[in-house]
A and B are shown apart, each in its own frame.
Chain A
Amino acid sequence: MEITRRRLLLLLPAAAVAWKYIQAGTPEAAPNYKLGEHWWGMLIDIPKCIGCGSCVRACSAENDVPDGYFRTWIERYHVPDWAIERPEVESPNGGKDGFPPNQSTGKNFFVPKLCNHCADSPCTQVCPVGATFVSPDGVVLVDKNYCLGCRYCVQACPYGCRFINPKTNTAEKCTLCYHRITKGLTTACAEVCPTGARQLADLKNPNDPIHEFLKTHSVQVLKPHMATGAKVFYNGMDGSVR
């Protein structure tokens, strides 16, 4: 095709638009998903959790989590008597293979933990370059092509949910299965939970049943004194959980 001046004048703005589109990322990964319509959170129902570890295994498989590190894990609490400030806690391999048989008296329960996707997140505050951020729909994500691996965010997280992936040498953590929730699916951990103890919540969607649950039940967040704006809510959680 011969490039005349006229053709070039018509071609250039089209090319500029296309270039901008390419540079802005690939929205076709989730074509019908509008960032502004969602505000993601999660509900964890402690009395329902049976500590089977399905969520830990599912997350590990879905997201290629390296061995020895955990994007989500389960803790077993044992409070022998009235002293809720002195629990005994264990988490054998993060609960990935379930828990060994145990018979003890007192209060015993499982607490699944994950990134709380804080609205006022300490990890995003301390990132020196802006590699970790709160997305417009409320999910705290890590840009592994920009992360230096300085480990500041891993230290800053009060919930201990971040780690450095030894393969990519960047920070990593639960992404709330962003690649799934932007396509209308639920997170891998909520998908496989046999008792429904873990449920994804869209806090901007009034029709979401979990949103309704949060409005009508007493729920807590972990470490409220840190004022992180955590968006993972725990139903039926004991005061001994730290």
Chain B
Amino acid sequence: MTAIIVAEGDTRYQKTLRVVGRNSHETRGSSVFKDTEHLIRLAVVLALGVVAFVGLRAAVVPKSFGQYGHYRGAAIGEIAARPIGHAGHEVCEGCHTDVVEQKKLGRHVVVPCEACHGPQAKHADDRATIKPPKLDTAVVCSRCHEANSAKPKTFPQVATADHAQGIACGTCHQPHHPKIEEAAESKPAAKPATGGKK
């Protein structure tokens, strides 16, 4: 390479470029690293930034994070602690034995209580003050039994408009034992003897 030519008015960077342009045996290591202040400054800032980031992370990230995977392990417990809304038919059957007997006579024995009556866990916990509301059979029964071609052919369904002609289902059918027998035993729309629902 040629000798050093440092022109007047060169910036420090331009001077370094010209110096480095010499033959390798003349440069040794030192002159290449003459202008390294900015590099050291950058390295220190980067190192401090990494340390700050790691520190912040340790302080802010929730402690149970990563317990089972990339999520807050405590969330599983929180989600499992939700209050329960539906009591389940065994709970209902514990008290309402008369209704159980009625249902056993017919096809509605397989229908869970809360399918029609809605969630009753609150009532099961506090039977005195919380009473389930009276159901409107005109609405409740048609959800299952309205004739729809998508329902299985063997499932009992009627076109409510023709079948009932505006009358509510409960007028003729007893919901817990809906089949209308010819015998006197199951009187339609009879008021129940005990505190069970109609």
Interface residues, chain A, with chain B CB atoms under 8 Å away? 23-27, 29-30, 33, 35, 47-48, 50-54, 57-58, 61-63, 76-78, 97-105, 108-110, 130-136, 141, 143, 145-146, 175, 178-180, 182-183, 185, 188, 191-196
In the bound complex, residues from chain A placing their C-beta under 8 Å from that of B82 are 63, 178-179
Q: Mark B62-106, 1 if CB is under 8 A from A, else 0.
A: 111101111111111111111111101100000000000000000
Distance between Cα atoms of A61 and B123 in the complex (Å)? 14
**In the complex, which residues of chain A have a beta carbon less than 8 angstroms from the beta carbon of B71?**
130-133, 143, 146
Given A130-B65, A192-B114, CB of A99 within 8 Å of CB of B75: no
A43 to B119, CA, bound (A): 23
In angstroms, Cα B79 to Cα A29, docked, is: 9
Q: Is B52 an interface residue (CB 8 A)?
A: no
Q: Is B63 a contact of A23 with CB atoms below 8 Å?
A: yes
A54 engages B143 (CB within 8 Å): yes
Q: Residue on B with the closest CB to A111?
A: B150
- Closest residue of B by beta carbon distance from A133: B71
Q: How far is the CA of A54 from the CA of B144 in the complex (A)?
A: 9
Bound-state Cα–Cα, A25 to B74, Å: 4
A192 CA to B111 CA, complexed, in Å: 8
Given A175-B79, A194-B110, decide whether A101 and B64 contact each other with a Cβ distance below 8 A: no
Complex: A37 Cα to B43 Cα, angstroms = 50
Closest to B65 in A: A130
